[in-house]
Amino acid sequence: MTGTWREARVAASPGGGPRLGRRALIRGGGLAALGIGSVAVLPAFGTPSAVQDPRTCRAPDVSASQKRLVVSNWPAYIDPATKKTTSTLQDFEKATGITVSYTDDVSDNAEFFAKVRNQLGSCQAVNRDMMVLTDWMAAKMIGLGWVQPLDSAKVQNLHDNLIPALQGRAWDKNRTYSAPWQSGLTGIAYNAKLTKPVGSFSELLTRSDLKGKITLLSEMRDTMGFMVLLAGGQPEKFTSQQWENGIEMLRKSVKSGHVRAFTGNEYIQDLTAGNIVACEAWSGDVIQAQFDNPDIKFVSPEEGLMLWADNMLVPNKATHRTNAEKWIDYYYEPAVAAKLAAYVNYICPVQGAQQEMEKIDKTLVDNPLIFPSEDALKGSHGFMALDDKQEQTYEGEWSDVTGG
């Protein structure tokens, strides 16, 4: 994918100090009908020679003798240690005796893919035991056979505590290969001081008093998910005609001057400053903005929400798979998940964490953007995985409309 990626945001931390936001730009949920089973039925993302069989493309697991773990994640996506408290990472090291080499070198799904594709595509090690990637890229790598299956008995907390909304993904039906790290929603934000409520994506794109005062996200899968919905399709599975109808509606809105710009997360600054009055928005950004400006509101559009997750994956040739499984099982303990969620402010994927949050930060317990109800997530959508031809075509048309 060639999409643009969001710049790091500066927002107030729970402790009151400034920190960089969770990552450079987000996602589109790649939720598609990808058969997971024998490699023979996996979708061919890329050249056939790049497809591997994780059953044979693997290295010996030396976890028992090497208490090490190498993790690649997005920036500012884990709680730091403070003068008063240890971090969850430090707690994990103390509890398990495993030393974690943690790097925040994932700042763009496509960029990270380019970084590892030659090695993984030829069954070579990437010197990582875990990488955290967004749904659509996770689906792509699983489809290529580049990801090791998890031992379900060693990640029991994942299977016991994963929230229902993130279960049963078509590209990894039983979470055999992936475990959500954090999740989030794409919807609408508006400045209540400057405009009346905006309740639907259709309204965002057509209401006359909003003309020239809105922005949409530069992430194709998020924005086009809503356009496909407006065209009568489902983002999880749509036809080429529904895509064309959606992109044409967007093209007309852009040409009419209704859309001010396509942005990364800088929309929050524009919304707060009054340069725009409403926009397509990510839930975590809105939570952070509300610390300083309660007039910023997040809305679940009438059409539904786009739901995404960033997923922990163990790549082929990883040598510490068992240690990685211990990490996954640890972060699916409700108390640990609550401590992490109190810092990152995205949707916590772990059942039971909301109750544990009572002990950490009571102000976050009932925050629907961290702990949304099952009913609130029932109308959420992901975006179907695209094959190479679709991706090239759709990204080209998207760039033509957005100027990206």
Q: What is the pLDDT along the chain (404 residues), one digit of tens a residue?
A: 222 222 232 233 333 333 444 433 433 333 232 233 333 333 334 455 699 999 999 999 999 999 999 999 998 899 999 999 999 999 999 999 999 999 999 988 888 999 999 999 999 999 999 999 999 899 999 999 999 999 999 999 999 999 999 998 888 999 999 999 999 999 999 999 999 999 999 999 999 999 999 999 988 999 999 999 999 999 999 999 999 999 999 999 999 999 999 987 789 999 999 999 999 998 888 988 998 999 999 999 999 999 999 999 999 999 999 999 999 999 999 999 999 999 998 999 999 999 999 999 999 999 998 999 988 888 799 888 888 889 899 999 999 999 86
Residues 289, 11: contact at Cβ < 8 Å?
A: yes
Q: How many domains does the chain have?
A: 2
Q: Is residue 46 part of a domain?
A: no
- Is 57 inside any structural domain? no
Same domain for 264 and 301: yes
198 in the same domain as 155: no
Structural domain includes residue 349? no
Asked if 73 and 219 sit in the same domain, the reply is: no
Residues 191 and 282 in one domain: yes
In angstroms, the CA 84 to CA 254 distance is 50
In CATH, what number is assigned to the domain containing residue 394? 3.40.190.10
Same domain? 248 vs 320: no
Are 97 and 208 within one domain?
no
Angle at 45 between CA 128 and CA 1, to 5 degrees: 75
Task: Assess whether 173 and 318 both reside in one domain.
Answer: yes
Domain shared by 299 and 319, yes or no: no
Domain span at 88? 68-177+314-332
Cα–Cα separations (whole angstroms), residue 342 to 132, 202, 403: 19, 33, 37
